[in-house]
Amino acid sequence: MTSPSNFQQSLDTLKAIKEDFEKTEKMSIDDIEAKFKAAQLAYDCCKTRINEVSKLIEQSKQG
Protein backbone atom coordinates (compact mmCIF):
# COMPACT_ATOMS: atom_id res chain seq x y z
CA MET A 1 0.00 0.00 0.00
CA THR A 2 1.33 3.41 -0.92
CA SER A 3 1.83 5.56 2.14
CA PRO A 4 0.41 9.10 2.16
CA SER A 5 3.82 10.66 2.71
CA ASN A 6 5.38 8.66 -0.15
CA PHE A 7 2.55 9.56 -2.46
CA GLN A 8 2.74 13.26 -1.72
CA GLN A 9 6.53 13.20 -1.93
CA SER A 10 6.37 11.42 -5.28
CA LEU A 11 3.82 13.90 -6.59
CA ASP A 12 5.98 16.83 -5.46
CA THR A 13 9.05 15.22 -7.06
CA LEU A 14 7.24 14.65 -10.34
CA LYS A 15 5.93 18.22 -10.38
CA ALA A 16 9.44 19.54 -9.75
CA ILE A 17 10.90 17.40 -12.54
CA LYS A 18 8.15 18.48 -14.91
CA GLU A 19 8.84 22.11 -14.06
CA ASP A 20 12.55 21.53 -14.70
CA PHE A 21 11.77 20.03 -18.08
CA GLU A 22 9.48 22.89 -18.98
CA LYS A 23 11.89 25.58 -17.81
CA THR A 24 15.06 24.21 -19.35
CA GLU A 25 15.20 24.82 -23.07
CA LYS A 26 18.21 22.70 -23.88
CA MET A 27 18.99 19.64 -21.83
CA SER A 28 21.71 17.12 -22.44
CA ILE A 29 20.80 13.51 -23.06
CA ASP A 30 22.43 12.59 -19.73
CA ASP A 31 20.28 15.13 -17.86
CA ILE A 32 17.14 13.88 -19.58
CA GLU A 33 17.99 10.31 -18.70
CA ALA A 34 18.78 11.14 -15.04
CA LYS A 35 15.59 13.16 -14.58
CA PHE A 36 13.45 10.57 -16.29
CA LYS A 37 14.91 7.83 -14.08
CA ALA A 38 14.06 9.88 -10.98
CA ALA A 39 10.53 10.41 -12.32
CA GLN A 40 10.15 6.71 -13.06
CA LEU A 41 11.28 5.88 -9.53
CA ALA A 42 8.77 8.32 -8.01
CA TYR A 43 6.02 6.95 -10.23
CA ASP A 44 6.83 3.33 -9.40
CA CYS A 45 6.45 4.11 -5.67
CA CYS A 46 2.81 5.01 -6.32
CA LYS A 47 2.05 2.55 -9.07
CA THR A 48 -0.09 0.28 -6.87
CA ARG A 49 -2.35 3.15 -5.88
CA ILE A 50 -2.47 4.49 -9.42
CA ASN A 51 -3.53 1.09 -10.74
CA GLU A 52 -6.22 0.69 -8.10
CA VAL A 53 -7.57 4.17 -8.72
CA SER A 54 -7.52 3.46 -12.46
CA LYS A 55 -9.73 0.43 -11.78
CA LEU A 56 -11.97 2.68 -9.71
CA ILE A 57 -12.27 5.11 -12.60
CA GLU A 58 -13.13 2.23 -14.93
CA GLN A 59 -15.79 1.05 -12.49
CA SER A 60 -17.19 4.58 -12.31
CA LYS A 61 -17.39 4.73 -16.11
CA GLN A 62 -19.12 1.35 -16.31
CA GLY A 63 -21.43 2.12 -13.38
Partner 1 sequence: MNTISRNYSPEEISQHQTLGALLSRLKRTVEETYSRYEKVVAEITSVVTVKKGVRVELADYTESSGTRAKISAFIYTNVKHSFENQSGSELKDGLKVLVDLKISYSEEYGLSGNIRSIDPKYTIGDLAIMVKAMKDELSKKEIIDLNRNLPQPKDFFSVAVISPESSAGLEDFRSKLTGIPKSVCKFEERHCVFQSNKAGSNIASQIKHLNSCGENFDVIIITRGGGAKSDLYYLNDLQLAETVCLSKIPIFSAVGHDRDKTIIDEVANQDFQTPSLVASHIREVIILRATELQDTFLSIRQIADRNIENMGSNWILAWTRLSDTVSKKVHDFQQETFESYSSIRESSLSGLAENKLALNKTYNQAVSLGQSAFSDSCEDIHQSVRDITSLARDGIVKNDLFITKSHNQIVSGGQALLVNEYEEVNELNRSIVGLAENRLSCMEANANEYMQAITSSSHQLKKSVEERRKNDIKDRKKNLFIAMLLVLVSALIILFFIQNG
- Which positions lie near partner 1, rule CB under 8 A? 1, 3-4, 7-8, 10-11, 14-15, 17-18, 21-22, 27, 29, 32, 35-36, 39-40, 42-43, 46, 48-50, 52-54, 56-57, 59-60, 63
Q: What is the dihedral of CA 35, 37, 42, 48, to 10 degrees?
A: 150
User: What DSSP character marks residue 54?
Assistant: H
